[in-house]
Structure 1
Amino acid sequence: MLPYVVGIGLSLGVAVFARWVGLDRDRAFYPIVLIVIASYYVLFAAMVGSVEGALLESIVMAPFVIAAVVGFKGSQWVIVAGLAAHGLQDAVHGHIIANAGVPAWWPAWCLAYDVGAAGALAWLLTRPQVNVAGAAA
């Protein structure tokens, strides 16, 4: 339960902090968050020296990088969908790829973080008075 609580808490804390200091005024903020989130499984494979694992994780990472670029160039709603989809990927990751480097708590934490970040960005995008990454004025 704790990984879920901490994941949601941190995602919302990062979103509030980014809004407060203005980090999310740049359109690149949430796409970069999505790319970094998606890259961690590759990192975990590399940490245990699994070339095959890093390659497989890179293949799984690719659609999220594509979503980040498409969302950066177009609608930020693609980023919302990408973050939410990565949360779903966290839920099934262990059934798809065996990666000994993934900490036991990571999938739950990352799922919660991803869903929290997707929700925060979706909420910001629906606020017409808020300028989120150049999307609304």
Structure 2
Amino acid sequence: MLVPAAIGAALGLAVFAFARWQRYDRDASFYPTVLIVIASYYVLFAVMAGDRAALVPQLGVALVFATLAVIAGRHAPRLVGIGIALHGLYDLAFHLLGGGGGVPEWWPPFCGAIDIVLGLAVLGAVAWSGRGERAA
């Protein structure tokens, strides 16, 4: 599983670099939207597999991350980076939490690496810019 993780880490850096280059990251909604999309993939896998038993818990997990994205995007940008990285940890722990739901075996290390690298990059960029907290 090192190859999917290595590709994922490179992709995480590429997404961050592209967003900086194109200045997408200047829009306060960009990374919260990325976090919401990231959180939706496990729901997609459960739907594709027709696994109703996995669908409900995955909807719950996606709702938690989406809620974090909305709150953090409005009030605490550093939490968006933390949320993306936390989703990466969720990816890496996915098989310990029961797995299943139509998720390909290579997905958790691939997506986990993307999320952790991207989340840390976002967190670093927010810290560097001094935009760590916004007025409510």
**Which structure has the highest helix share of the two?**
2
* Structure 2 counterpart of 1:39: 40
Q: Is the 8 A contact 2:12 2:115 kept in 1?
A: yes
Matched-pair identity in %: 38
Structure 2 unmatched ranges of 5 or more: none
2:91 alignment counterpart = 90
* Distance of 2:99 and 2:93 partners within structure 1: 11
Gaps of 5+ in 1: none
Indicate the residue corresponding to 2:61 in structure 1. 60
CA distance in 1, matches of 2:12, 2:96: 25
8 Å Cα contact 2:42-2:58 kept in structure 1: yes
Moved over 6 A (4+): none
Q: Which residue identity lines up with residue 54 of structure 1 in the other structure?
A: L
TM-score (norm 2): 0.89
State the SS of the aligned residue for 2:129: coil
Aligned to 2:17: 16
Local SS of the residue matching 2:109: helix
Match of 2:5 in 1: 4
Aligned length: 132
RMSD: 1.8
Query: Matches of 1:98 and 1:14 in 2, distance apart?
Result: 26
Query: What aligned pairs does 1:48-127 form with structure 2 within 5 A after superposition?
Result: 48-127=49-128
Q: Distance in 1 between matches of 2:129 and 2:97?
A: 40
